[in-house]
Amino acid sequence: MNVEAAEKEEKLRESACIGDLDQVIKLVEHDHVNVNSQNNINGWTALHWACKRNHIDIVKYLLAHDSGGVSEAPSFAITPSYLKFPVFPYASRDPVPPAIDSQHHAPALVNGHTGPTLRSDPNELVLKARVAYLTDRDFIEVELSRQTLTFEALLTMLTRELGVDRSLVHKIRKLPDTVLRKDKDVARLVDFQEVELVLTNRAMSSSSRGYASDLSDSFKHEQILY
C-alpha cells in the first residue's frame, strides 16, 4: 500500500470518529477508500470509531458500503487509554452525546481554559462558585437541579455550599461582569460557569468575622444597596 492510500484510510477513520459524514462520503465514493481498512496498531476500522462515538448516520452509511473481509483486531494485554477514553473534537452535534466513564476525567474548555472535569449529570447544572474579594480566590464546584433553575434556588444553594448567611448577600455575579437578577438569567447559565457571591458591608459585623480581614478594603469599591 502506498503512503497516500494509507493516509486516506487514516483520514476515513478520523472523519468517522469526529462525525464528519460529508468527508466520509467523499473518501468512500470519490477516493474509493476501503471502508474496512484497519489501523495497524489497534485494528480499528472507521465503523469501530463511528460506533464508539455514537455517530448513527455514519454507522448506517458504513454498513451500507461494507464490502466485508474485516480481519479480527489484534488482542492486547491492556486497553490503551486513547481507546478506552477517546477525546476528539466533534464536527457535528449529536442528539445523543457519547458516554464517558464517570470515574475518569476528560479535557473540557471552561471559561477559556482547558482543565480536567467530570462528565456532569444531565439533570444537574454544574457551576464554579466562590465568595468575591476573599484572599483565597479558588472556586468550588456546586450542583443545581435543572428542574429548579430559579434565582431563589441558586441563591439558596450558593449560600449553603459556601457557608454564607444569605442576609449578607448583596448580589450574585456571573463572571466577569454580569449581575444575575431573575429566573431567566439563571436559566441561561451553562455548565462550569463561574459565579460569585458579593456580600454587603454587614459582612463586617461580629456575626461574620471570617470575612472581615479579606473584605475590609474591597467593599469600598462596591455600591452597597440595602
Which CATH number goes with the domain that contains 214?
3.10.20.90
Global pTM?
0.41
Round to whole Å and give the CA distance between 28 and 18. Answer: 16
121 and 48 assigned to the same domain: no
Convert the pLDDT of each residue in 38-93 to its tens digit.
988 888 999 999 998 899 999 999 998 876 544 454 555 556 665 666 555 556 55
Domain membership flag for residue 93:
no
The pLDDT of residue 80 is 60
Residue at a domain's end among 84, 118, 153: 84
140 and 66 assigned to the same domain: no
Mean pLDDT in residue range 13-41: 91
Round to whole Å and give the CA distance between 82 and 145. Answer: 32
76-87 b/e with 16+ CB inside 10 Å = b?
A: eeeeeeeeeeee
Domain coverage including residue 43: 3-84
Q: What is the mean pLDDT of the chain?
A: 77
Sheet strands (E) in the chain = 106-110, 113-117, 124-131, 140-145, 169-174, 178-180, 193-199
116 and 177 assigned to the same domain: yes
Give yes or no for residue 155 having a pLDDT over 80: yes
125 and 204 assigned to the same domain: yes
